Structure 1
Amino acid sequence: MQATDTRRKIIVGAFILLGIAIFILGVFTLGSQKKAFVKSFTVDVVFNDIQGLKTGNNVWFSGVKIGTIKKIQFFGTSQVQVFLNIEEEAHKYIHKDASASISSDGLIGNKIIVITGGTPKFPFVEDGDRLRVNTTLSTDDIMKTFQVNNKNLVDVTSDFKILAKSLVEGKGTVGALLTDEQIASDFKAIVVNLKTTTASANKMAAELDKFTKTLNTKGGLTDKLLTDTAVFAKLQASVNELQKTANSASELTENLNKASSKLTQTDNAVGVLLNDQKTAEQVKTIMLNMETSSKKLDENLEALQHNFLLRGFFKKKAKAEAAATDAKKE
């Protein structure tokens, strides 16, 4: 009987020890998962909306779990302050300009906080610092955007369905193009003509290119005009002379116009002769009298040559003229 009680006590004691061992192991296991026995520091973030965050949710950095949410409390009038318990080992990667945002562990997983490290030009965070908020789209915002996009897609699909029906029924210009054979044939003819026109344009461009190359031929007139400064200078001088000639001709024309205008006026001798009939008759009379007087003078000179008093003088003059003529012939 005593042996039986002793065995029972031993079995009970063994079960108690095993239970204590399992309890201690569980405590250490849960503590390791919650980072309860790891040296850490605390920072906080103030959000306008924590989107269902809870105490104990994880904190991630570059895809690695570095801590947990320690405490959540209201801040100010409507904001929420979240305290983060972060492992000391991650301290050397997080700078003071780091930011925190709310995300999800998978598409429908628990909410988490994601920290970005910041830039090296800032010092590392310290215990009690406050991180700034990285305002990114939340899962709810993304779902709302999806809903709006889906509605827009439904509207576009409905409109396209109506448009396709109109095209099949031949409504509108595009529908007529798709269903009317005559319009289709005309459109084909337009395309053919356009193709022909394009070919002609290409041919013309080729000819123009060929002509341009001939202009650039070394030693040609165009080449000299474009490249030879001496030829260009001569051409410019010729143009200047031509301009002077044109200016002279213009002045001459102006002078002739002035002279011709004078001919129609009676304030000058030529104008009087051309426009005054009485003066013209007088001039004609004077010319007739001069002609008559000249004729009479010739007759008087002829009579003087036969006068015996002057006959010797005229004979000597005639001999002198004949001698001069003979001398010139020799």
Structure 2
Amino acid sequence: MKYTREVKTGILAIIAIAILIFGYSFLKGKNLLDSSRNFHAIYADVEGLSPSSAVTINGLKVGQITSIDFLDKTGLLLVTFTVDSDFQFSKNSLAQIYGGGLIGGKSLAIVPDYENKLMAKSGDTLPSDIEEGIMELVNERLTPLQVKVERVIVSADSLLTSFNQVLNPETRNNLQSTFNDLAETVRSFKGTANSLNNIVEGNSAKLDRTFTNLDEMSGNFNKFSDTLAQVDLSGMSRDLEKIIADFEQVSNNLSSGKGTAGKLLTDDKVYDNLDRATKQMEQLLQDIKLNPKRYVHFSVFGKSPGSYQPPKDSLK
């Protein structure tokens, strides 16, 4: 069977038109041969979401955005997207815009919800949400930091201004003089340190002997401590307690009038007798001094002793 040229031309034209329609629909994100389910979501701002953007469920691509149009005169946007997977989710599942990195664009994720048993059907409108992207997070974190940096810059500028006002020519000269004096002091300390080093080097032998003597003294102290450790301190303590007890007994005897010393301290008669005996002894010694010939007489020619002189009672 032969086709005429007109028939062939018509068939080619029909095929070309079909390809054109199919290609145009494909470029717009529609697949005419696909039986995917269509869903809708309403947003106040799609934040860079565009047709042909991916639609994912748990990170797996299950469809794409087919169109984004104004819903009404209020500026709300109607986003239409397809889901080519048989994965079932409820009508309360969330259509969430996410992504928006430095390179990649926005995408739409379906967050399944299973509390509602009523499954979503093609043509349903799902609840919408927008997840903060990396740029929004960066702006959110950088805004407080920017405020703090601005405050620091203002404080630093005020500090530098005050510093410049303080560091007038006179103050700088004073600081220069201070640093010069400090350098001179450091040089003096350095000279003193050198002198001390020379003294130490010149007397190193004496220092060695001194440390040797200190070492020997330490050894002697150790020996002395060992000797003290061997002393019977407990016995000495017992002897000392015994001596103290004896002294205490003697003191008690004296206080109670026992013995001659006790009677002397407590009995007035003993004291008076002793006082009289002392007076008489003194008178006797005075009489011996005044009249020695009465007690000792040596005479070769028989001369009689002189006249008697009574002793003076000086103790009255």
TM range (shorter): 0.3 to 0.5
Q: What is the TM-score with the length of structure 1 in the denominator? A: 0.40
Q: Which protein has greater RCO, CA pairs closer than 8 Å, 6+ apart?
A: 2
